[in-house]
Each structure stands twice: as structure tokens, then as C-alpha cells.
Structure 1
Amino acid sequence: MGDSAGDWCLIESDPGVFTQLIRKFGVNGVQVEELWSIEDDSFDNLRPVHGLIFLFKYLQNENVPVDVVTDSRIDRIYFAKQVISNACATQACLSILLNCTHPDVDIGPELKKLKEFSMSFDPKMRGLTLSNSQTIRSAHNSMSQQAVIEVDPKAPAKEEDAYHFVSYMPIEGRLYELDGLRDGPIDHGPVSLEQDWIDVVRPIILKRVNADHPFPCRYNEGEIHFNLLAVVSDRKMIYERQLEEVMTTTGLLGMETDEFDSEVPRLRMLIDYEEVKMARYRQEMARRKHNYLPFIVVLLKILAAEKKLMQVYEKAKERASKRGHKKMKV
């Protein structure tokens, strides 16, 4: 993949990072939540779910053929080839946002303009359009972490595991997998009006996690190589809407009901929780971007002066060896 549009940073697979990334695009009415299970009860408080973003370890040496959509549906599905390194996190988000028709989701003027401009292009030209968008590139790179140590780009790089993001979502009654490294969307079959599309995607993701999927994914037992995020409607917006409905119903009845007494405090608590969560996301992002190097240098000098440096180092080394290998970047 080329890099003519300049360097794109690695993005951490974190719901706060993805939520802020989406809002940097100018999108309203959406946030991202992390899923620890794909069982049905994990989605109880998240619906409507507009799409899933799946992170997995990508094994480039395996190339199992997969049937992709190349017919006229490609003119109606916004699918873009990934033509720039490290862009798959952003493209996974955009794949969902630019195909979403739910009334909660407002993709904003920049993405609307980009979609209208490039919808008639082929997937590669769409990918080039995305990678050359200053709005998208700036939003993507604003999620970068502060580098404590600068690495010489000319120096031979240590080979590391490659990780990749793909999206799943229903479009026009069928479940699609949108992977920018493919030539087109992957059709996983129909989703009927009576079905919850999560029930259709669940076995597909479970097969992939269990390495029983026709894809490049063969892993050693005990390794953790997956992360799952859900793109959902803004939870605060949903709770505020529900609160307004309860208040309106109570006003029409002219009296407070048992539902009012129990539901109003619950919804107000949930709204407060979402406000606190978003404030925490902003704080975490500020910490990611802060330069801690001066503090670290001073701390090391103090520890060395007190002859505690090697003791702290050995403890840290021991903790690191016990920690499971879990990468969350691509």
C-alpha cells in the first residue's frame, strides 16, 4: 500500500478513541462501545447497533480465496479499497458511517460532500479519495499517541505482528463484511425483516475467533488476537429521548405514575454516566498526547540516586512477563 498522502499514525482499538475519531469527522448521533462478548445480552443496552468493527491478527502469508461482490451492488454500497498504510481503523469507521441510513446518524457536511463526490468512483478511486481527504487524514492523525522515543525511519524495523480492522453491517437486507484489503464487500447472506442482524453475524465472528473461518487466521492456543467494537446511537441522546417521552406522558396524564417514580431517576443517572464517560475519554486522550519524557527522566534520576532503579526494573519486568500478549493497535 502506498503512502503518497503522507504518514498515517497507528490507532488504538479503544472505544474512547474511536468515538472521538468519529466526532472529529463531524458526525453526530453516534458513539463506539467495546464488547467483551457477542452473546445477545451484551447488546441489550446498546441497540440500535449500526455496525461492528472487528480487530484481528492478520497473517499475510495465507491467502484463502473469498468471494466478493463485484456486481451492480458495488454502485450502491460505499466500499473503498485501502490504499494507504495504517488507515484501516478509519476506513472501518467510514465503511459503517457512509452506508448507514438510520435516522439517529448524522454524518455531517464533510462526509456527505465526500460521499456525493466519490460514490460514482470504483473502489480504488474511492480509497484514493479518502486517503487524500485533509479532513479525514487530520482527524485520523489527531488520535496519535505521543512518542516518547523517536525511531530512525531508515533503521531496519523489527518485524511485528500485523493487525487489521474490518466492519460488519446490514445493507439492503443482507449482511456484508467491509474489508479494505479485499476487492469488494463480502456478502454473508440475507437478513430478514424479522431477524436481528446480530444473530446473523454472531456465528461468523465466532468461527473467525475459533480459527474455523476461510480467512488468514491461524493462531497459537492461548493467544489473544481479537477486539470487537460496536458503532451505536449516541447513548445520551437515546436516554434524553426516553426521558422526554416519560415526562410528556406524565404531563398528558396530569399525574405522576409508578413508571415516572422509577424511570426518571434511572434515565437521569444514565445521562450523567454518559457525560462522565465522555469527559473521561477526553481526559484519556489528553494523557495519550502528553509528553511524559521530562517526568520519566527526573523519576529515573531520583530512583537511581536512591538505589531503587534496578529493584523497580525487575518488578516491572516480572509483571510484563505475566501479562498476556494483547495487541490493540494496527
Structure 2
Amino acid sequence: MSEPVHPPEGGAGETPNAPSASVDVPRARKAFIPLECNPEVMTALVHKLGLSKSLAFHDVFSISDPDLLAFVPRPALALLLVFPVSESYQRHRIAEDAGKEEYSKRGDGEDPVWFKQTIKNACGMIGVLHAVCNGGSRDMIGDGSSLQELLSKALPLPPLERAKALEDSQELASAHKSAATRGASAVPDAEADVDLHYVCFVKAKDNHLYELDGQRKGPLDRGDLGDDDVLSERAVNVVQIFIDREKESGRLDFSLVTLAPNMD
């Protein structure tokens, strides 16, 4: 993987001569400051929202070098990938989504939990929510926390109403602003158009790997992981597809972080 990109947030911007990154997303009524791809920032954000401090985000500097992977705590519960929204990606996304119906699941049995993105430049926050609200990390959300209250309110709602609940959450907006303004790089404008995007990979309770992106039509099942975590060979092969797709374009500004046990 490349060094972490700052700031790597995309979501509602466009790449030159490429289809809009928000083809399937309603026009944004609200905008967030782009979230830096910084494990310390992300960890502070989720701890403020109520995730157990036994979990934290960590950089993943390689998905192929065993020595570098050995430094990453396991089990890895979720992956957040930052990647360029290129023409080749847009063609792939539009073609894959063309025959799919809009996601409509809701309620306590929903697995995985999915959030549609309607806030401009919020794909980092949406990715973080996908990471902490699914799989084993969901069981680590504190009772009475902002995250628990948000999930309780959002789960019974259909996707667009659930997205509106995120828009209306003052706790979420406050926590996001606090995190987005404490990174190592210059703070961009919330209305800026950018061409990098977050996607989250989680292992759901059915042991399948799901690609979760608030700008798609719903969760994408990427196969059975069995007893393996999201940094297993089967999982990182899916991540490698994103990288291989961009080799011809020369865009290699990717970053990857994982949610895993806190080593502090």
C-alpha cells in the first residue's frame, strides 16, 4: 500500500471527464469536512462516539508483505480503503450496479448494517460507521453511547430515512468536526470537490466479506471468509482488485487502515 493519503476523503466530487461519483446519491443537503486517513484521528472519533477503547484503527502498509502484516494486530474486524475515483472505477461501478435493486432491508436482523450516503464529503464517516456497526465491533459499542443511540434510531428505518437520521444527528456532526479538524494536514473546505473515496470491508455474522459503500445501491457480498478475518488472503484479494484496476491509469494513491485490537 502507499503511504496514507491526506486528506483522502471523496464522496460527491468528480474526476475530470468521468461520470459523477454520486450517480446513485440524492443531491447533498449537508456537507462534512473531509476526514483524514489517519488511524489516530479515526480512533479518537470512534472512542468519542462510544466504541470500546479495546479497539483502534491501525495503518496497513502492505497486503502482500508477511513481515509488514505481522505488525498489524489480529483479528482484523474491518478494513477502510481509500482509493481514487477514476474513470475505470466509475465504469466498473455503474456496470455492476446496473442490474441491482435498491437496498431496502432494515430492523434488528439486518446483517450487515448499511448506511446510504447523502452528506457531501462524508464517505470517511460512513466508512467508519460501517466498520464499527458490523461484525464483532458492533458488540463493543458502549451502552448509552452516541453510537448505540444512533443505531437504535436508525436500524428500524429504510435507507433514505436512515440517511436523514445521520444528517440530523448533532452528536455525529460534532464528533466528526472535532476529528476532521485535528489531523496532520491542512483542513479542506466541506464543499470541496475531491476525487478520493472510502469503502469499508467487514466480516458479517454470516462469515461473508461485504463491501460497504454508501454510494452504491447496497452491501456487496464478496464471498465466504469462513473462520478467517478481513486481512486473510481471501479478503485482501478483493482489495487487490481495486489496486489492479488502476495500474494502467497510474493512480496508486491508495491507503488502507484496519479496525483491530488496541495495542496501547
Quickly name the TM-score band, shorter chain normalised: 0.7 to 0.9
Q: Which residue of 2 aligns with 1:226?
A: 254
In 2, the alpha carbon distance for the partners of 1:225 and 1:150 equals: 18
Q: Kindly indicate whether residue 95 of structure 2 is the aligned counterpart of residue 64 of structure 1.
A: yes
1:162, CA displacement in angstroms? 0.8
Structure with the largest fraction of helix: 1
In 1, the alpha carbon distance for the partners of 2:46 and 2:236 equals: 25
Contact conserved, 2:104 with 2:158, CA < 8 A, in 1? no
Q: Structure 2, unaligned stretches of length 5 or more?
A: 1-25
Matches within 5 A, 1:74-153: 75-102=110-137, 105-108=140-143, 109-145=145-181
Q: Which residue of 1 aligns with 2:200?
A: 167
> Partner letter of residue 229 of structure 1?
V
Contact conserved, 2:180 with 2:187, CA < 8 A, in 1? no
What's the TM-score once normalised by structure 2's chain length? 0.73
Q: Structure 1, unaligned stretches of length 5 or more?
A: 212-216, 237-330
One of 219, 229, 247 as aligned partner of 1:185 = 219
Percent identity between the two aligned chains: 23
In 2, the alpha carbon distance for the partners of 1:177 and 1:103 equals: 17
1:26, CA displacement in angstroms? 2.3
Q: Which residue of 1 aligns with 2:51?
A: 27
Contact conserved, 1:88 with 1:164, CA < 8 A, in 2? yes
Q: What is the total number of aligned residue pairs between the two structures?
A: 222
Q: If you compute each CA radius of gyration, which structure gives the higher value, 1 or 2? A: 1
Q: Which residue of 1 aligns with 2:239?
A: 205
The range that moved more, 108-117 or 70-79, is 70-79
1:218, CA displacement in angstroms? 7.0
Contact conserved, 1:81 with 1:127, CA < 8 A, in 2? yes
Contact conserved, 1:104 with 1:233, CA < 8 A, in 2? no
Compared CA separation, residues 123 and 35, structure 1 to 2 (3 A): same
Contact conserved, 1:59 with 1:218, CA < 8 A, in 2? no
